[in-house]
Amino acid sequence: MAKNPLHYIMSPGSIAIVGASANPMKMGTIQYLNLAGSGFQGDILLVHPTEDVIFGRKAYPSVKELPYAPELAFLVVPTMLIPSMMEDFGRLGTRYAVVITAGFKEIGEKGERLEHEIVDIARRYGMRFLGPNCMGIVNSQLPLNATVLPLQGYNGKLGLASQSGTYVTQTLPYLHKHGICLSKAISVGNEANIDITDCLEYLGEDKDTKVIALYIESIRRAGRFLELAREISRKKPIVAQYVGGTEAGARAGSSHTGAMAGPDYIYDGLFEQAGVIRVNTIEELYTIGWGLASQPPIKGNRIAILTNSGGPGTAIANTCNKHGLTVPEFPTDLQERIRAFIPGHAIPRNPVDLTFHTDDEAITQKIPEVLFSSDEIDGIIIHGIMDTGFSEVIYPMFKDIFKCSKDEFRKMGMIDLSGLVKMPWQYNKPLMISSFFDHEDHCIRAFHENGIPTFDSPEKTALAMAALYKHYLIRTRACDTPENLPSVPEKARQIIDRIETGAVDEYRAKQILMAYGIPTTNEALVHTYEEALKGAHAIGYPVALKACSPDILHKTEQGLVYLDIKDDEGLKNAYESIKQKERDTPLLVCEMLKGDRELMAGMSYFPGFPPCIMFGLGGIFTEVLKDRVIRLAPLSHTDATSMMMSVSSSPLLGSYRGMKPVDRDAFSSILINLGYLSLHFPQIKEIDLNPIIVVGGYPKVADALFIMEG
Amino acid sequence: MAKNPLHYIMSPGSIAIVGASANPMKMGTIQYLNLAGSGFQGDILLVHPTEDVIFGRKAYPSVKELPYAPELAFLVVPTMLIPSMMEDFGRLGTRYAVVITAGFKEIGEKGERLEHEIVDIARRYGMRFLGPNCMGIVNSQLPLNATVLPLQGYNGKLGLASQSGTYVTQTLPYLHKHGICLSKAISVGNEANIDITDCLEYLGEDKDTKVIALYIESIRRAGRFLELAREISRKKPIVAQYVGGTEAGARAGSSHTGAMAGPDYIYDGLFEQAGVIRVNTIEELYTIGWGLASQPPIKGNRIAILTNSGGPGTAIANTCNKHGLTVPEFPTDLQERIRAFIPGHAIPRNPVDLTFHTDDEAITQKIPEVLFSSDEIDGIIIHGIMDTGFSEVIYPMFKDIFKCSKDEFRKMGMIDLSGLVKMPWQYNKPLMISSFFDHEDHCIRAFHENGIPTFDSPEKTALAMAALYKHYLIRTRACDTPENLPSVPEKARQIIDRIETGAVDEYRAKQILMAYGIPTTNEALVHTYEEALKGAHAIGYPVALKACSPDILHKTEQGLVYLDIKDDEGLKNAYESIKQKERDTPLLVCEMLKGDRELMAGMSYFPGFPPCIMFGLGGIFTEVLKDRVIRLAPLSHTDATSMMMSVSSSPLLGSYRGMKPVDRDAFSSILINLGYLSLHFPQIKEIDLNPIIVVGGYPKVADALFIMEG
């Protein structure tokens, strides 16, 4: 298999920049200066039509005149020049490019044509490229920084791919302030050639990247994304923000990178299936990503909270509980061991509240040691460690008393964190810090230097810890990829081959389902009353009688369905009544199921996505309450059971009022086979199995509708 | 009515501090130094048993020896000394106190006794006090700051009351960094005498407080809280964080201030009814509170987004849409007016994305003027204004080129915001700023100095704008307080007076409901088959027949209910079958309702709360899916209709499948009258009206259960 092109783009031996000039305020110039200043060890070649020397470096008048084919071309020139530049580099032998320039697909039809043009050129020369309309790349290990802002703090672990350039460039100082270090960062722009799914694959393979963070406005190859993410997320956490789920988000995204977004529930399904942890804000993408990247993985959900204040402790406890973590009351012996280090009136139940009066050693060393070494605890959150930030604020009150300079005063209160910052690795448990102070506090700097994540609110700290536990659940969930696509059932092929376009009648639809092992009602297709009578007797009363034609979509509404027919007389009445309305349509005599619940399953398509398998409780739950979930075909067994647990109304699948729970294996098998069917026959554009009636816990399809392409 | 004691506590003419000493690291000392340094203009008297002079100020050896009774006593002494101190101040004539000292109710039984003791002392002397176990008070207008940290930035507008001391003290530097200015701040501690509801009243009356922010672990007087908040929130926004809704949150809160928390849905109901905007984090409490306090009220939900980058613009648009705001595509003429100021390839549809290359005047002056002056826009969000913060970061790249100092370089890029910061008041529309920079950026400082809120992520900015719109909805919602409690229906009193304890039988329960005008099924209480027959004929078949006794709670499960009886024969069978099991129990013959939906309503109590009226769709929706909401009695008409809209399953109350929508007025009236009934008869501890059957849109109670006290 071809190596992912990003391995070359992110680690080139030589780069040609077209677009840097003597004007220091131009984007190309800034990117050049940044790259040159970043410590990049490879060759940098400049191209400029009129300037010979740019900031001390020779510039070549054209691409043709370059001394050799650079490994990477970096293009920041006016939009109209991009095609000929690409052509020139292609001819020269350069195979990788980053196209910064905007003005393509995102501005409408004219730009789209231009984008097609450069895609064609790249194909002709076997080139791969990032962009257009992107902001550059960062490889902190090389180092290489071809964005508009300098990178501070190396030793990165968080790999970022973003459909917004700002999030790999303008936020670099923000990341530094939060102690967050990137391994690699990629701005993908319009994704004309390389897309965010390629980035996912690359970051998955990149050994320096411990966690992958994705800013997403649209995924163009959802099937491949799923396949990759499913594998990667078992080892490396993947965190993603998706912003295209609303009308305004989708429209803004389309102006931004020309992408086509989809509703939230489609992406929720994809992310759940792929093991991707979804976050709601860019701050969470960075800080939760960093929490995951910087700390040892968590091995359970029992959190200890150590605080110098009750409010933050309570807020942390509450947020932990809301997001799947427990804050267990400590057993007596653990409480006793902690009691030695706390003020008399404090109670070490968990949270351990030291209250405002406390010695630094208790909160930074002695109690953490007890907590880290306990078997009852999986992760530790501490709020309230602070020194110089606090000293600085109170200095005005004390300067006349202590008669010392602010610097001396700051030093007086400085806390030694050398023991605490080692504990996570010593005990192999995560530590997260909550503090209202920032870099002005020496403790915060010390935590950042040692890779301990800090959060400027108690709730955010708890949320980040909850994300570690989410990844624990993903890491440890049943490891079943979908099975290989089975071969097409011959019976199904025979039926489908004979169908042309439009809807498929219920009888044939159910025959196809049966070929896939999906249980359906026992039934007979009949053309005369005698056949109907024979069918009813074979099935046994009560039965249902329905008109059966691909042209009739809403049978019930048209009075073409009679349910619960109890005897021959009822059958005759129903038969005649239907025949009066539909003289030439055959009829279906069906077994009448006495179930205790109705479910539904279906399939539909969404641009860029493989068949989406849908599940919901039937009737009002899907129709009126819109309570349904999707997963992408093919489904693993875990995907199918997780679907059933993901609808809001999932408690209704359980056992209550004396009903048996819905058999998970049986229903999963319906969903999985629906996926196979959809993949086997892409000409089927829509499937609706509704209702699926549950009898004694076992589901049977009572009505089915297929819509074929065309 | 007595003036709220906080008017005296927050603005005292003189304060005695007991607990300050020559040891500068003691809390009392720090609070004294802070108070003395805060510019407080009143007298400060110190009391210390052994020190004569504390930091230059005379100290009196005991409370008795104070020259006069100070208006406020501020106590920071060991727990055991508090009662005698309170006694001494009471005897001296001081009527207000702040008790900082901890070690009371929050530590268990022993502390609780001590807390009762000081409550008794206060009662004897007519004293009112804050605490114990609190952290002090701030009045930025006086000024007076008796917390442990200095206050920066006056001109406060945000009033804060908190059940955590940290949130009025340790976060003061954090607030300053975010440009947030407090008007008043109150740490309420254990609320032994003054509680957060008193604070709400005081802050509601305080003319300097434009918005009230509350950090809540428990509300002890929910009825009064509701009454006050309902009135206040029509003018002043109230924002609240509640952290007691989980097991861990409740337990942590109880260790913290000894308070009893309740589940989230109880508080959701209270807040909704009271017009309180609930937030999830302390950061939101502060920043959203400040957004509301600092900006003109919004008058609609149409937001314009101006950005220098697509990603943040998209994230803002998406978050706006998710939280009730629209980001309308601009009409053509507005687009044309903006197009003059943007780069060729940018599209001014909304968001207006200037992309990275832009002139400062476009984003800070020209386009904002167009947006502020448009009738199509109610609020403006801008992302990407930055100057010195950005210059500082890029300086290393440019220092050799421009050959200037960092300061000169910073000044070169400085942006004039004098026009923009006036626009919100000039056009009377809110402006919110998103930026990844902090105080190091001159623009952020300029925004803060001019009271424009800034947020360090796009999504937070949108959320704050959404809160403005939430308050618009609260401000403009139907202004109906509950009516005065009507008089007790004589019939209801007669029945209830004769009931002692335990359950009430269905017949009498329905008689009581009827006395309140709540529609119930037509029915007859019968003792013989002849009576049953007569009843059934009067009502008309089909009927239901049930055993009717206060001692039988689960009639259906015991086979004591027969539904849908169609004729005399059916009645006879049912009668005999019930009589076989319950020989001496009277029976109820009821009209058999053919409805299309079942609802439920109920009442229960929660500590500190008035009767909680509950609503849900019946059956599985309340039993299995726990989909129900509560409101506190008495209910206004708006409360009752909002309840119906607040359950997740509320779409099922509408019109679908040919059913008539549930009549809102009719159902509201049931809920309102249920509230009156509960308030009239506090001996009723629980009511369950289930099912309430909807026939042609109109609800009728089909079964009712009352549980009396004892």
Report percent pLDDT > 70 for chain B: 99
Q: Which residue, A633, A602, A630, is CA-closest to A618?
A: A602
Residues B95, B5: Cα–Cα separation, whole Å: 9
Q: Across residues A565-584, what is the average pLDDT?
A: 92
pTM summary value? 0.95
Smallest CA-to-CA distance from B289 within B278, B299, B298, B300 is with: B278
Contacts of B326 in chain A (CB under 8 A): 248
User: What pLDDT does B503 receive?
Assistant: 87
Chains A–B, number of C-beta pairs less than 8 Å apart: 292
Q: Worst-scoring range by mean pLDDT, A7-11, B95-99, B589-593, B673-677?
A: B589-593
Structure-block tokens of residue B167: 């949130």
Predicted pLDDT of residue A582: 85
Sign, CA dihedral B276-B278-B282-B284, equals negative
- Which of the four pLDDT bands, split at 50, 70 and 90, describes residue B252? confident
Interface residue of B104, B175, B318 to substitute, partner A, most A CBs within 10 Å: B318
CA angle B635, B637, B642 (to 5 degrees): 85
Q: CATH assignment of B522-592?
A: 3.30.1490.20
pLDDT at A710 over 80: no
CB contacts of B457 in chain A (<8 Å) are 281-283
CA A703 – CA B16 distance, rounded (Å): 82
Task: Using an 8 Å CB-CB cutoff, list chain A residues near B252.
Answer: 305, 310, 313-314, 317-318, 327, 351
pLDDT for residue B208: 96
Q: What is the pLDDT of residue A154?
A: 64
Contact check, Cβ <8 Å, A327/B252: yes
Hey, of B40, B314, B392, which one would you mutate to test binding to chain A, going by the most A CBs within 10 A of its CB? B314
Among B363, B297, B288, residue whose Cα is nearest residue B319: B288
**Mean of the pLDDT values across residues A62-67?**
97
* Local structure of B301: helix, strand or coil: coil
Interface test with A, best of B40, B196, B255, B350 (most A CBs within 10 A): B255
pLDDT exceeds cutoff 70 at A489: yes
Do A486-521+593-710 and A6-292 fall under one CATH topology?
Answer: no
Encoded tokens for B139: 């009045």
> Shortest CB distance from A624 goes to which of B103, B313, B656?
B656
Question: Where is average pLDDT lowest: A151-165, B310-324, B463-477?
Answer: A151-165
Quote the pLDDT of residue B257: 74
- Single-letter code of the amino acid located at A437: F
- Three-state secondary-structure class, residue A152: coil
Which of B150, B311, B651 comes nearest A396 by C-beta?
B150
Distance from CA of B492 to the nearest CA of A (A): 35
Q: Which H or E run contains B573?
A: helix B568-581
What's the whole-number mean pLDDT along residues B267-277? 97
Q: Is the pLDDT of residue A605 over 90?
A: yes
Report the C-alpha gap between A398 and A403 in whole angstroms: 8
Among chain B residues, the shortest Cα distance to A257 is held by B310
Report d(CA B276, CA B238) in Å as an integer. Answer: 5
Of B30, B249, B314, the CB nearest to A314: B249
- Asked if B255 and A356 come within 8 Å (Cβ–Cβ), the reply is no
Q: Do A252 and B459 touch (CB under 8 A)?
A: no
> Taking the alpha carbons of B614, B616, B622, B627 in that order, is the dihedral positive or negative?
negative
Please check the confidence at residue A479 and state whether its pLDDT lies above 80. no
On the question of pLDDT at B19 being above 70, the answer is yes
Residue B336's CB is within 10 A of a number of other CB atoms, namely 11
- Predicted pLDDT of residue B154: 64
Q: Do B349 and A251 touch (CB under 8 A)?
A: yes
* Helix (H) or strand (E) run with residue B633 in it: none
Cα–Cα dist B108/A522, whole Å: 68
- A698-702, B120-124, B393-397, B681-685, range with the lowest pLDDT: B393-397
State the pLDDT at residue A296: 98
CB contact under 8 A, A37 and B438: no
pLDDT of residue A343: 77
- pLDDT over 70 for what percent of chain A? 99
How many alpha carbons lie under 13 Å from residue B691 in its C-beta half-sphere?
Answer: 18
Tell me which H or E stretch contains A107: none
- The Cα of B624 is separated from the nearest Cα of chain A by a number of Å equal to 6
Contacts of B396 in chain A (CB under 8 A): 37, 150
Q: Which of B256, B302, B316, B347 to mutate to test the interface with A (most CBs of A within 10 A)?
A: B256
Question: Binning pLDDT at 50, 70 and 90, where does residue B6 land?
Answer: very high
Other C-beta atoms within 10 Å of B564: how many? Answer: 11
Mean pLDDT of B576-597: 91
Mean residue pLDDT across chain B: 93
Predicted confidence band at B106 (pLDDT cuts at 50, 70, 90)? confident
pLDDT at B518 over 90: yes
Q: Which residues of A touch B166 (CB under 8 A)?
A: 309-312
Q: Collapsing DSSP states into helix, strand and coil, what is residue B545?
A: strand
- Quick: pLDDT tens for A70-86: 999 999 999 999 999 99
Q: B597-708: what CATH class?
A: alpha beta
| Residues in chain A within 8 Å Cβ distance of B344 | 103
CB contact under 8 A, A281 and B315: yes
> So what's the pLDDT on residue B54?
95
Residue A503 in this model has a pLDDT that exceeds 70: yes
CA atoms within 13 A on the CB side of B61: 1
- Does residue B1 have a pLDDT over 70? no
Token pair recorded at residue A672: 């999985």
> Of A310-319, A649-658, B218-227, B248-257, which range is least confident?
B248-257
Cα–Cα distance measured from residue A591 to residue B676, given in angstroms and rounded to the nearest whole number? 53
pLDDT in tens, B152-191: 766 699 999 999 999 999 899 999 999 999 999 999 999 9
Band of pLDDT at residue B558, cut at 50, 70 and 90: confident
Residue of A61, A78, A79, A193 whose CA lies nearest to A126: A193
Question: Which CATH number does A486-521+593-710 carry?
Answer: 3.30.470.20
Domain boundaries, chain B: 6-258, 295-476, 522-592, 597-708
CB A252 to CB B318 under 8 A?
A: yes
Is the domain spanning A296-476 CATH 3.30.420.40? The answer is no
Which CATH code is given to the segment(s) A6-292?
3.40.50.261
Q: Of A23, A190, A255, A627, which to mutate for an interface test with B (greatest number of B Cβ within 10 Å)?
A: A255
User: Is pLDDT of A344 > 90?
Assistant: no
Cis ω on the peptide bond leading into residue A691 (within 30° of 0)?
A: yes
Nearest to B252 among A106, A313, A397 (CB): A313
Instruction: Tell me what pLDDT residue B358 has.
Output: 63
- In angstroms, the separation between the Cα of residue A257 and the nearest Cα of chain B is 8
Q: How far is A34 from chain B (nearest CA, A)?
A: 7
- Cβ contact A546:A506 at 8 Å: yes
Among A306, A317, A310, A314, CA closest to A361: A306
pLDDT in tens, A374-420: 999 999 999 999 999 988 888 888 888 888 899 999 998 899 999 99
Lowest mean pLDDT among B103-107, B670-674, B702-706: B103-107
- For position B357, what pLDDT does the model report? 62
A340-363 average pLDDT score? 83
User: Hey, of B105, B166, B187, which one would you mutate to test binding to chain A, going by the most A CBs within 10 A of its CB?
Assistant: B166
Q: Do A357 and B107 touch (CB under 8 A)?
A: no
> What pLDDT, on the 0 to 100 scale, is given for residue A358?
63
Which residues in chain B touch residue A165, judged by CB atoms under 8 angstroms apart?
309-311, 356
* Cβ distance of B318 and A249 shorter than 8 Å: yes
How close A25 comes to chain B (CA, Å)? 10
Quickly count: other Cβ atoms within 10 Å of residue A64's Cβ: 11
pLDDT at position B571: 95
CB contacts of B280 in chain A (<8 Å) are: 459
User: Considering only alpha carbons, which residue of chain A is nearest residue B437?
Assistant: A174
**pLDDT of amino acid B132:** 96
Closest CA–CA distance from residue A679 to any residue of chain B (Å): 33
DSSP letters for B491-532: HHHHHHHT--SEEE-HHHHHHHHHHTT--B--EEEESSHHHH
CA atoms within 13 A on the CB side of A332: 0
Nearest CA in chain B to A386: B170
Domain covering B6-258 in this structure, CATH number = 3.40.50.720
ipTM of the shown complex: 0.95
pLDDT tens digit sequence for B306-341: 999 999 999 999 999 999 999 999 999 999 999 989
To the question of domain B295-476 being in CATH 3.40.50.261, the answer is yes
Q: What is the nearest CA distance from A503 to chain B, expressed in angstroms?
A: 24
